[in-house]
Chains A and B, each alone.
Chain A
Amino acid sequence: MTDISNIEARVKKIIIEQLGVKEEQVTNEASFVEDLGADSLDTVELVMALEEEFELEIPDEDAEKITTVQQAIDYISSHNG
Protein backbone atom coordinates (compact mmCIF):
# COMPACT_ATOMS: atom_id res chain seq x y z
CA MET A 1 0.00 0.00 0.00
CA THR A 2 1.42 3.32 -1.04
CA ASP A 3 1.33 6.31 1.21
CA ILE A 4 -1.62 8.32 -0.11
CA SER A 5 -0.96 11.53 1.81
CA ASN A 6 2.63 11.56 0.63
CA ILE A 7 1.48 11.14 -2.99
CA GLU A 8 -1.05 13.91 -2.48
CA ALA A 9 1.64 16.28 -1.23
CA ARG A 10 3.96 15.48 -4.12
CA VAL A 11 1.21 15.85 -6.72
CA LYS A 12 0.18 19.22 -5.28
CA LYS A 13 3.76 20.43 -5.18
CA ILE A 14 4.14 19.66 -8.89
CA ILE A 15 0.86 21.39 -9.72
CA ILE A 16 1.97 24.51 -7.80
CA GLU A 17 5.30 24.55 -9.64
CA GLN A 18 3.97 23.78 -13.12
CA LEU A 19 0.96 26.06 -13.11
CA GLY A 20 2.50 28.81 -11.01
CA VAL A 21 -0.48 28.88 -8.63
CA LYS A 22 -0.73 29.41 -4.86
CA GLU A 23 -0.89 26.50 -2.45
CA GLU A 24 -4.34 27.48 -1.15
CA GLN A 25 -5.77 27.40 -4.69
CA VAL A 26 -4.83 23.76 -5.10
CA THR A 27 -7.81 22.17 -3.41
CA ASN A 28 -8.60 18.56 -4.21
CA GLU A 29 -11.67 19.58 -6.18
CA ALA A 30 -9.87 22.21 -8.25
CA SER A 31 -10.01 21.78 -12.02
CA PHE A 32 -6.76 22.54 -13.82
CA VAL A 33 -8.42 24.45 -16.62
CA GLU A 34 -11.40 26.08 -14.92
CA ASP A 35 -9.97 26.86 -11.48
CA LEU A 36 -6.22 26.98 -11.97
CA GLY A 37 -6.11 28.71 -15.37
CA ALA A 38 -4.24 25.98 -17.24
CA ASP A 39 -4.25 25.91 -21.03
CA SER A 40 -3.84 22.77 -23.14
CA LEU A 41 -0.06 23.09 -23.20
CA ASP A 42 0.01 23.49 -19.40
CA THR A 43 -1.95 20.28 -18.91
CA VAL A 44 0.40 18.35 -21.21
CA GLU A 45 3.38 19.73 -19.31
CA LEU A 46 1.73 18.84 -16.02
CA VAL A 47 1.18 15.25 -17.09
CA MET A 48 4.80 15.05 -18.27
CA ALA A 49 6.01 16.37 -14.92
CA LEU A 50 3.88 13.80 -13.07
CA GLU A 51 5.31 11.05 -15.29
CA GLU A 52 8.80 12.19 -14.43
CA GLU A 53 8.18 12.51 -10.69
CA PHE A 54 6.48 9.13 -10.31
CA GLU A 55 8.42 7.32 -13.01
CA LEU A 56 5.41 6.07 -14.90
CA GLU A 57 3.91 6.51 -18.31
CA ILE A 58 0.42 7.98 -18.55
CA PRO A 59 -1.21 7.07 -21.89
CA ASP A 60 -3.00 9.89 -23.76
CA GLU A 61 -6.41 8.33 -23.21
CA ASP A 62 -5.82 8.29 -19.44
CA ALA A 63 -4.24 11.75 -19.40
CA GLU A 64 -7.39 13.22 -20.99
CA LYS A 65 -9.41 12.07 -18.00
CA ILE A 66 -7.15 13.71 -15.43
CA THR A 67 -8.73 17.15 -15.17
CA THR A 68 -8.79 17.80 -11.42
CA VAL A 69 -6.30 17.62 -8.56
CA GLN A 70 -8.17 14.68 -7.01
CA GLN A 71 -8.19 12.76 -10.30
CA ALA A 72 -4.43 13.16 -10.54
CA ILE A 73 -3.94 11.92 -6.98
CA ASP A 74 -6.27 8.95 -7.59
CA TYR A 75 -4.54 8.04 -10.85
CA ILE A 76 -1.08 8.14 -9.35
CA SER A 77 -2.20 6.23 -6.25
CA SER A 78 -3.66 3.40 -8.28
CA HIS A 79 -0.77 3.18 -10.78
CA ASN A 80 2.17 3.83 -8.52
CA GLY A 81 4.26 0.97 -7.14
Chain B
Amino acid sequence: MTTLDGEIVLVTGASRGIGQAVARELGRRGAAVIGTATTQAGAEAIDRDLRDLDIRGRGLRLDVTDPAAVDAALKAVTQEFGAPTILVNNAGITRDNLLLRMKEEEWASVLDTDLTSVYRLSKAVLRGMMKAQRGRIISITSVVGATGSAGQANYAAAKAGIIGFTKSLAREVGSRNITVNAVAPGLIDTDMTRALPEAQRLALVESIPLQRPGEPQDVANVVAFLASADADYVTGATLHVNGGMFMA
Protein backbone atom coordinates (compact mmCIF):
# COMPACT_ATOMS: atom_id res chain seq x y z
CA MET B 1 0.00 0.00 0.00
CA THR B 2 1.45 3.34 -1.02
CA THR B 3 1.60 5.96 1.65
CA LEU B 4 0.04 9.39 1.60
CA ASP B 5 2.46 10.74 4.20
CA GLY B 6 2.91 14.48 3.87
CA GLU B 7 -0.20 14.96 1.73
CA ILE B 8 -2.81 17.52 2.72
CA VAL B 9 -6.31 16.42 1.79
CA LEU B 10 -9.47 18.48 1.60
CA VAL B 11 -12.67 16.37 1.51
CA THR B 12 -16.05 18.09 1.17
CA GLY B 13 -19.12 16.54 2.74
CA ALA B 14 -17.06 14.40 5.09
CA SER B 15 -19.44 14.00 8.03
CA ARG B 16 -21.05 10.77 6.82
CA GLY B 17 -21.38 8.27 4.00
CA ILE B 18 -18.78 8.16 1.26
CA GLY B 19 -17.06 11.40 2.35
CA GLN B 20 -16.51 10.07 5.86
CA ALA B 21 -15.06 6.80 4.56
CA VAL B 22 -12.76 8.73 2.21
CA ALA B 23 -11.54 11.02 5.00
CA ARG B 24 -10.81 8.05 7.24
CA GLU B 25 -9.08 5.99 4.54
CA LEU B 26 -6.82 8.80 3.30
CA GLY B 27 -6.00 9.66 6.91
CA ARG B 28 -5.22 6.04 7.68
CA ARG B 29 -2.73 6.09 4.81
CA GLY B 30 -0.90 9.04 6.36
CA ALA B 31 -2.45 12.21 4.94
CA ALA B 32 -3.53 15.18 7.02
CA VAL B 33 -7.27 15.47 6.45
CA ILE B 34 -9.52 18.50 6.49
CA GLY B 35 -13.13 17.37 6.24
CA THR B 36 -15.95 19.82 5.62
CA ALA B 37 -19.60 19.72 6.68
CA THR B 38 -22.41 22.23 6.25
CA THR B 39 -23.19 22.43 9.95
CA GLN B 40 -21.04 23.23 12.97
CA ALA B 41 -22.21 19.99 14.61
CA GLY B 42 -21.08 18.06 11.53
CA ALA B 43 -17.67 19.75 11.61
CA GLU B 44 -17.26 18.93 15.29
CA ALA B 45 -18.20 15.30 14.65
CA ILE B 46 -15.48 15.10 11.97
CA ASP B 47 -13.03 16.64 14.44
CA ARG B 48 -13.80 13.96 17.02
CA ASP B 49 -13.73 11.15 14.48
CA LEU B 50 -10.28 12.17 13.20
CA ARG B 51 -8.97 12.51 16.74
CA ASP B 52 -10.31 9.07 17.70
CA LEU B 53 -8.49 7.59 14.72
CA ASP B 54 -5.27 9.52 15.44
CA ILE B 55 -5.48 11.33 12.13
CA ARG B 56 -3.93 14.79 11.85
CA GLY B 57 -6.44 17.34 10.60
CA ARG B 58 -9.79 18.79 11.50
CA GLY B 59 -13.42 19.34 10.67
CA LEU B 60 -14.40 22.59 9.05
CA ARG B 61 -17.84 24.14 8.60
CA LEU B 62 -18.27 25.04 4.94
CA ASP B 63 -21.22 25.80 2.72
CA VAL B 64 -19.87 24.82 -0.71
CA THR B 65 -22.47 27.01 -2.41
CA ASP B 66 -20.97 30.17 -0.88
CA PRO B 67 -18.01 31.39 -2.99
CA ALA B 68 -16.69 33.74 -0.29
CA ALA B 69 -16.82 30.94 2.30
CA VAL B 70 -14.87 28.64 -0.03
CA ASP B 71 -12.12 31.24 -0.41
CA ALA B 72 -12.02 31.89 3.33
CA ALA B 73 -11.87 28.16 4.09
CA LEU B 74 -8.98 27.67 1.69
CA LYS B 75 -7.09 30.51 3.30
CA ALA B 76 -7.65 29.08 6.78
CA VAL B 77 -6.63 25.56 5.77
CA THR B 78 -3.52 26.79 3.95
CA GLN B 79 -2.43 28.80 6.97
CA GLU B 80 -2.92 25.94 9.40
CA PHE B 81 -1.78 22.94 7.36
CA GLY B 82 -0.34 24.23 4.07
CA ALA B 83 -1.88 24.25 0.59
CA PRO B 84 -4.00 21.15 -0.12
CA THR B 85 -2.26 18.63 -2.38
CA ILE B 86 -5.35 16.47 -2.81
CA LEU B 87 -8.94 17.65 -3.23
CA VAL B 88 -11.87 15.25 -2.99
CA ASN B 89 -15.09 16.84 -4.23
CA ASN B 90 -17.67 14.71 -2.51
CA ALA B 91 -20.38 17.05 -1.18
CA GLY B 92 -23.68 16.42 -2.88
CA ILE B 93 -27.42 16.44 -2.43
CA THR B 94 -30.47 15.00 -4.20
CA ARG B 95 -33.84 16.67 -4.80
CA ASP B 96 -35.60 13.94 -6.79
CA ASN B 97 -38.68 14.71 -8.80
CA LEU B 98 -40.11 13.92 -12.20
CA LEU B 99 -39.15 16.71 -14.56
CA LEU B 100 -42.79 17.67 -15.12
CA ARG B 101 -43.02 18.51 -11.45
CA MET B 102 -39.48 19.67 -10.81
CA LYS B 103 -39.26 23.16 -9.38
CA GLU B 104 -36.68 25.63 -10.58
CA GLU B 105 -35.31 25.61 -7.03
CA GLU B 106 -34.88 21.81 -7.02
CA TRP B 107 -32.93 22.04 -10.23
CA ALA B 108 -30.81 25.00 -9.16
CA SER B 109 -29.89 23.77 -5.70
CA VAL B 110 -28.68 20.37 -6.97
CA LEU B 111 -26.65 21.95 -9.77
CA ASP B 112 -25.13 24.47 -7.36
CA THR B 113 -24.23 21.99 -4.61
CA ASP B 114 -23.20 19.06 -6.79
CA LEU B 115 -21.59 20.70 -9.82
CA THR B 116 -20.80 24.38 -9.28
CA SER B 117 -19.11 23.53 -5.98
CA VAL B 118 -16.68 21.34 -7.95
CA TYR B 119 -15.79 24.38 -10.06
CA ARG B 120 -15.35 26.55 -6.96
CA LEU B 121 -13.26 24.14 -4.90
CA SER B 122 -11.11 22.97 -7.81
CA LYS B 123 -10.34 26.55 -8.80
CA ALA B 124 -9.51 27.43 -5.22
CA VAL B 125 -6.95 24.64 -4.76
CA LEU B 126 -5.47 24.89 -8.25
CA ARG B 127 -3.19 27.84 -7.63
CA GLY B 128 -1.33 26.04 -4.85
CA MET B 129 -1.10 22.85 -6.91
CA MET B 130 0.24 24.74 -9.96
CA LYS B 131 2.94 26.30 -7.81
CA ALA B 132 3.81 22.93 -6.31
CA GLN B 133 3.71 21.34 -9.80
CA ARG B 134 1.75 18.42 -8.42
CA GLY B 135 -1.72 17.65 -7.18
CA ARG B 136 -4.78 15.45 -7.31
CA ILE B 137 -8.36 16.47 -7.90
CA ILE B 138 -10.85 13.65 -7.43
CA SER B 139 -14.58 14.22 -7.78
CA ILE B 140 -17.34 11.87 -6.77
CA THR B 141 -19.82 11.57 -9.62
CA SER B 142 -22.43 8.82 -9.94
CA VAL B 143 -23.47 5.92 -12.13
CA VAL B 144 -26.56 7.94 -13.04
CA GLY B 145 -24.30 10.53 -14.67
CA ALA B 146 -23.61 7.83 -17.24
CA THR B 147 -26.95 5.97 -17.38
CA GLY B 148 -29.52 8.64 -16.47
CA SER B 149 -32.22 8.01 -13.90
CA ALA B 150 -35.95 8.75 -14.01
CA GLY B 151 -36.76 11.34 -11.37
CA GLN B 152 -33.18 12.56 -11.19
CA ALA B 153 -32.72 14.81 -14.21
CA ASN B 154 -31.10 17.45 -11.98
CA TYR B 155 -28.78 15.03 -10.17
CA ALA B 156 -27.85 13.13 -13.35
CA ALA B 157 -27.13 16.39 -15.18
CA ALA B 158 -24.88 17.58 -12.36
CA LYS B 159 -23.06 14.25 -12.16
CA ALA B 160 -22.59 14.03 -15.94
CA GLY B 161 -21.33 17.62 -15.76
CA ILE B 162 -18.63 16.54 -13.34
CA ILE B 163 -17.35 14.02 -15.88
CA GLY B 164 -17.03 16.68 -18.62
CA PHE B 165 -15.42 19.07 -16.17
CA THR B 166 -12.94 16.39 -15.10
CA LYS B 167 -11.86 15.64 -18.66
CA SER B 168 -11.45 19.33 -19.52
CA LEU B 169 -9.46 20.23 -16.43
CA ALA B 170 -7.29 17.13 -16.88
CA ARG B 171 -6.31 18.53 -20.27
CA GLU B 172 -5.69 22.02 -18.89
CA VAL B 173 -3.37 21.12 -16.04
CA GLY B 174 -1.72 17.88 -17.14
CA SER B 175 1.46 19.78 -17.98
CA ARG B 176 1.70 20.76 -14.31
CA ASN B 177 1.65 17.17 -13.08
CA ILE B 178 -1.84 17.59 -11.65
CA THR B 179 -4.23 14.71 -12.29
CA VAL B 180 -7.99 15.14 -12.39
CA ASN B 181 -10.25 12.12 -12.11
CA ALA B 182 -13.76 11.10 -11.14
CA VAL B 183 -15.16 8.13 -9.24
CA ALA B 184 -18.67 6.98 -10.10
CA PRO B 185 -20.30 4.94 -7.34
CA GLY B 186 -23.34 2.79 -8.04
CA LEU B 187 -25.73 1.84 -5.26
CA ILE B 188 -23.79 2.44 -2.06
CA ASP B 189 -25.24 1.82 1.38
CA THR B 190 -25.51 5.41 2.73
CA ASP B 191 -28.18 7.71 4.16
CA MET B 192 -28.75 9.02 0.65
CA THR B 193 -29.66 5.62 -0.81
CA ARG B 194 -31.44 4.39 2.32
CA ALA B 195 -33.98 7.09 1.55
CA LEU B 196 -35.02 5.14 -1.58
CA PRO B 197 -38.28 3.15 -1.44
CA GLU B 198 -37.53 -0.47 -0.41
CA ALA B 199 -38.97 -1.96 -3.63
CA GLN B 200 -36.79 0.29 -5.78
CA ARG B 201 -33.73 -0.59 -3.69
CA LEU B 202 -34.35 -4.33 -4.05
CA ALA B 203 -34.86 -4.01 -7.79
CA LEU B 204 -31.57 -2.13 -8.02
CA VAL B 205 -29.69 -4.78 -6.03
CA GLU B 206 -31.05 -7.45 -8.38
CA SER B 207 -29.50 -5.62 -11.31
CA ILE B 208 -26.03 -5.81 -9.71
CA PRO B 209 -23.83 -8.73 -10.84
CA LEU B 210 -22.05 -8.73 -7.47
CA GLN B 211 -25.51 -9.02 -5.86
CA ARG B 212 -25.04 -6.51 -3.08
CA PRO B 213 -25.00 -2.77 -2.55
CA GLY B 214 -21.53 -1.30 -2.15
CA GLU B 215 -20.10 0.00 1.10
CA PRO B 216 -18.65 3.51 1.44
CA GLN B 217 -15.29 1.79 2.01
CA ASP B 218 -15.48 0.26 -1.50
CA VAL B 219 -15.52 3.80 -2.89
CA ALA B 220 -12.90 5.10 -0.44
CA ASN B 221 -10.45 2.41 -1.59
CA VAL B 222 -10.69 3.61 -5.19
CA VAL B 223 -10.35 7.27 -4.18
CA ALA B 224 -7.25 6.31 -2.18
CA PHE B 225 -5.82 4.61 -5.26
CA LEU B 226 -6.35 7.73 -7.38
CA ALA B 227 -4.82 9.87 -4.63
CA SER B 228 -1.71 7.70 -4.43
CA ALA B 229 1.44 7.49 -6.54
CA ASP B 230 0.04 4.23 -7.95
CA ALA B 231 -2.24 6.38 -10.11
CA ASP B 232 0.46 8.76 -11.38
CA TYR B 233 -0.43 8.03 -15.01
CA VAL B 234 -4.22 8.12 -14.64
CA THR B 235 -5.95 11.37 -15.56
CA GLY B 236 -9.28 12.40 -17.06
CA ALA B 237 -10.67 9.01 -16.08
CA THR B 238 -13.95 8.06 -14.49
CA LEU B 239 -13.61 4.90 -12.42
CA HIS B 240 -16.87 3.04 -11.92
CA VAL B 241 -17.41 1.43 -8.53
CA ASN B 242 -20.79 -0.23 -8.92
CA GLY B 243 -20.54 -4.01 -8.61
CA GLY B 244 -21.10 -4.31 -12.34
CA MET B 245 -24.48 -2.55 -12.29
CA PHE B 246 -23.32 -0.50 -15.27
CA MET B 247 -20.33 -1.35 -17.42
CA ALA B 248 -18.79 1.58 -19.27
Give the interface of A toward B (CB within 8 A). 39, 41, 45, 48
The answer on a CB contact under 8 Å between B172 and A41 is: yes
Q: Is the interface of A mostly helix, strand, loop or mixed?
A: helix
A45 — which chain B residues lie within 8 A by C-beta?
130
The CA-CA distance from A39 to B130 in the complex, in Å, is: 14
Q: Is the CB of A39 within 8 A of B175?
A: yes
B127 touches A41 (CB 8 A): no
Hey, which chain A residues are within 8 Å of B173, CB to CB? 41
A48 adjacent to B176 (CB under 8 Å):
no
Chain A nearest Cβ from B137, distance in angstroms: 15
CB of B202, distance to nearest CB on chain A (Å): 49
A49, closest chain B residue (CB): B131
Number of interface residues of B (CB under 8 A): 6
In whole Å, how far is A1's beta carbon from the nearest beta carbon of chain B? 32
Give the complex CA separation of A37 and B180 in angstroms.
25
How distant is A22 from chain B, measured CB to nearest CB, in Å?
20
Could you give, for residues 175-194 of chain B, a 1 whenever the CB lies within 8 Å of some chain A CB and a 0 otherwise? 11000000000000000000
Whose C-beta in chain B lies nearest to the C-beta of A40?
B172
B130 surroundings in chain A (CB, below 8 A)? 45
Q: Would B127 and A48 count as touching, CB distance under 8 A?
A: yes
Contacts of B176 in A (CB 8 A): 41
Measured between alpha carbons, how far is A2 from B86 in the docked complex, in Å?
41
A1 to B223 CA separation, bound complex (whole angstroms): 54
How far in angstroms is the closest Cβ of chain A from B104? 30
| C-alpha gap A77/B126 in the complex (Å) | 29
Alpha-carbon distance between A41 and B172 when the two chains are bound, in angstroms: 8
B127: chain A residues at CB < 8 Å are 48
- Cα A48 to Cα B127 with chains together (Å): 9
In whole angstroms, how far apart are the Cα atoms of A48 and B176 in the complex? 16
Q: How far is the CA of A32 from the CA of B127 in the complex (A)?
A: 20
Which residue of A is nearest B130, CB measured? A45
| Interface bits B204-248 vs A (CB < 8 Å: 1, else 0) | 000000000000000000000000000000000000000000000
Distance in Å: Cβ of B179 to nearest Cβ of chain A? 15
Contacts of B172 in A (CB 8 A): 41
Q: Find residues 91-149 in chain B having any chain A CB closer than 8 Å to their own CB.
A: 127, 130
7 CB < 8 A contacts A-B: A39-B175, A41-B172, A41-B173, A41-B175, A41-B176, A45-B130, A48-B127
Chain B residues within an 8 Å CB radius of A39? 175
User: Given the complex, which residues of B lie within 8 Å of A41, measured CB to CB?
Assistant: 172-173, 175-176
In the complex formed, the residue of B with least CB distance to A39 is B175
CA distance A48 to B173 in the complex (A): 16
Q: Which residues of A contact B175 (CB under 8 A)?
A: 39, 41
Q: What's the nearest-Cβ distance from chain B to residue A42, in Å?
A: 9
Q: Across the interface, name the chain B residue whose C-beta is closest to A45.
A: B130
Smallest beta-carbon distance B169→chain A, Å: 11
A48 (CB) vs chain B CBs: closest residue: B127
A18 vs chain B, min Cβ distance (A): 10
Q: Report the bound CA distance from A39 to B175 in whole Å.
A: 10
- CA A45 – CA B133 in complex, angstroms? 12
